[in-house]
Structure 1
Amino acid sequence: MTTPKRDRRARFTQLPLALVLLVVAVAALRIGQYHWRQGAALIGGALLMAGLLRAVLPTDQAGLLAIRGRPVDVLTYAALSASIFFFALTITGGPLS
């Protein structure tokens, strides 16, 4: 039998992922409005936020942000974030410029 405190805690387990996905949804909106650099930067920021959340939250509270071990997750999120920021800042031209 679960206690009410445990149920409340389980209810908010996926909140970190929901915050990251909210930023990605805003990024998709910006990309859809032809502001693709801002959208790409927001996606990079969402990945950076995912890495920071994974670094500070315990594994049982990180929800689906916890994929592998903490160091692997944080390094992967940081590397993906840096690469997306790099592409967003360096790519010029194209159909959305």
Structure 2
Amino acid sequence: MTVVTALIVIAVGFVAWDRWRRGALIFGSAALVAAAFRLCLPTVQVGLLAVRSRPFDVAALAALGSSIVFLAATINTLGVN
């Protein structure tokens, strides 16, 4: 949980400094890391990442993370980072 929280804080920092695309990529990556942790670690160790069943949590986090990374990577920035 600490690793995912640290990634989210870093992403918020990038967004606050007007680097929204990098922040979105890091935020999506945090969701993908959370999905990997939920898949690999036992339920006792994942803490607040365990919301529903393991397959649902992994699928939801992977879909969310993949969507955010895809959108951040493909959107036209029009000269803005």
Normalising to structure 1: TM-score of the pair? 0.76
Structure 2: gaps spanning 5 or more residues: none
Distance 1:63 1:32 in 2: 28
Q: CA RMSD in A?
A: 1.5
Aligned residue number for residue 46 of structure 1: 30
Cα shift at 1:33: 1.4
Structure 2 length normalisation: TM-score?
0.90
The Cα shift of 1:92 comes to 2.0
Counterpart check, 1:68 vs 2:79:
no
Per-residue deviation, 1:21: 1.0
Q: Larger relative CO (CA 8 A, sep 6+): 1 or 2?
A: 2
**CA distance in 1 between partners of 2:77 and 2:60 (Å):** 29
User: Letter of the aligned partner of 1:60 in structure 2?
Assistant: V
Equivalent in the alignment of 1:8 = none
Matched residues, percent identical? 41
Residues 16-71 of structure 1, C-alpha deviations (whole Å, 9 max, x = no match): x2211110000111111111111100001100000000001101111110001111
